[in-house]
């Protein structure tokens, strides 16, 4: 066993220089990391591997055996076998980390979506089966959500549900404060509808922009630019970077449009709050609440006068 270890130490030491030269020429062939560099190859084969071979050689001296041929051959092939194994192990760890991260992000997104639904009372709008009493605004929202779902943007389609819930809530508050025949009711309803139609136009623009980059795989492009950058030509690298820039520009534009819709949601919230503060019912009390409380307190203080004195 010690002879095998001593032979492996000799074989490993002999392969350090060739592998270091290979790493300087092409780091991806000698370094199994995701983004290999020449500096990593120098550290790996000029310091770490020679130190390991020296440690193995010093350990094998205790037995006093001669180096074996099998150990020498194993040392020569050690790095060639270790590189693909380490590369597979690194890829396995990266995939597992990615799955865990995606699961965490999905769980966090579901939690936030559930909290938003509970807090704001968001009603989910089904484009395939609109509500029975759906007006033109609700039908337009259904078409906008369907367009977003078709391009795979469910994250922005959830904003349609929020706008639909706000719209129904504003109409309920408006109906409770004004009669449908009043001019104020018609004016307020028309303004609310204009805000919703503007949001529908924004949703349609978002779906159109998302459809333009729907066929581009951002993970594939980043993987090519990262792991396979040394094998790509200048034209292919420029094309991949251009595609990545298009995707990033589209995402920024979608975020700006989503922020515009958030402004529409805020306007609807302000409208519902302002309408809720309007008092249109005829008061039933003949005196104010503060005056009534004061009169009741005086009656309680003098209630003892109405009782019979007990002897």
What is the residue-wise DSSP string for the chain?
-HHHHHHHHHHHHHHHHHHHHHHHH-HHHH--SSS--HHHHHHIIIIIHHHHHHHHHHHHTTTTPPPPHHHHHHHHHHHHHHHHHHHHHHHHHHHHHHHHHHHHHHHHHHHHHHHHHHHHTPPPP-TTS--TT--HHHHHHHHHHHHHHHTT-HHHHHHHHHHHHHHHHHHHHHHHHS-TTSHHHHHHHHHHHHHHHHHHHHHHHHHHHHHHTTT--HHHHHHHHHHSGGGS-HHHHHHHHHHHHHHHHHHHHHHHHHHHHHHHHHHHHHHHHHHHT---SPP--SS-HHHHHHHHHHHHHTGGGGSPPP-
Per-residue pLDDT tens over the stretch 230-256: 566 777 777 778 887 888 888 889 889
Percent of the chain with pLDDT over 70: 81
CA quadruple 82, 85, 91, 94: dihedral sign: negative
Does residue 46 register a pLDDT over 80?
A: yes
Please report the pLDDT score of residue 201 as a whole number. 92
Give the start-to-end residue ranges of the domains of the chain: 2-98, 121-276
The confidence band for 110, taking pLDDT boundaries of 50, 70 and 90, is confident
Does residue 193 register a pLDDT over 80?
A: yes
Please report the pLDDT score of residue 304 as a whole number. 58
Burial track 267-290 (b if 16+ CB lie within 10 A, e otherwise): bbeebbeebeeeeeeeeeeeeeee
Q: How many CB atoms lie within 10 A of CB 240?
A: 18
pLDDT mean across residues, the chain: 80
Mean pLDDT of 260-270: 87
Terminal CA-CA length for the chain? 117
What's the number of CA atoms in the CB half-sphere (13 Å) around residue 128? 2
Pick from 64, 71, 54: which is nearest to 11 by CA? Answer: 71
Q: Which of 3-7, 17-21, 44-48 has the lowest mean pLDDT?
A: 3-7
Pick from 80, 65, 79, 81: which is nearest to 7 by CA? Answer: 65
Please report the pLDDT score of residue 209 as a whole number. 87
Please give the structure tokens belonging to residue 100.
């865990």
Does residue 311 register a pLDDT over 50?
A: no
CA quadruple 67, 73, 76, 78: dihedral sign: negative
Residue 104's Cα: distance from chain center in Å? 10
């Amino acid at each position: 066993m010690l002879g095998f270890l001593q032979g492996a130490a000799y074989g490993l030491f002999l392969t350090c220089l060739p592998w270091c030269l290979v790493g300087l020429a092409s780091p991806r062939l000698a370094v199994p990391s995701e983004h290999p560099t020449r500096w990593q190859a120098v550290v790996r084969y000029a310091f770490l591997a020679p130190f390991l071979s020296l440690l193995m050689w010093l350990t094998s001296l205790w037995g006093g055996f001669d180096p074996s041929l099998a150990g020498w051959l194993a040392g020569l092939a050690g790095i060639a076998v270790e590189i693909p194994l380490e590369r597979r192990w690194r890829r396995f760890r990266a995939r597992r980390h990615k799955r865990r991260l995606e699961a965490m992000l999905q769980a966090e997104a579901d939690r936030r979506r559930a909290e938003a639904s509970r807090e704001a009372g968001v009603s989910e709008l089904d484009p395939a089966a609109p509500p029975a009493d759906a007006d033109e605004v609700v039908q337009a929202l259904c078409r906008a959500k369907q367009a977003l779902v078709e391009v795979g943007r469910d994250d922005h389609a959830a904003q349609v549900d929020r706008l639909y819930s706000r719209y129904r809530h504003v109409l309920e508050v408006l109906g409770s404060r004004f009669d449908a025949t009043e001019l104020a009711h018609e004016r307020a309803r028309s303004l609310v509808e204009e805000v919703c139609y503007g949001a529908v136009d924004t949703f349609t623009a978002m779906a159109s922009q998302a459809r333009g980059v729907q066929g581009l795989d951002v993970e594939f492009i980043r993987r090519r630019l990262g792991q396979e950058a040394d094998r790509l030509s200048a034209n292919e690298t420029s094309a991949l970077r251009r595609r990545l820039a298009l995707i990033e520009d589209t995402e920024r534009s979608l975020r700006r449009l989503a922020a515009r819709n958030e402004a529409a949601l805020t306007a609807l919230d302000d409208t519902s709050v302002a309408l809720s503060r309007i008092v249109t019912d005829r008061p039933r009390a003949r005196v104010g609440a503060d005056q009534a409380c004061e009169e009741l307190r005086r009656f309680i203080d003098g209630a003892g006068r109405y009782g019979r004195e007990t002897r």
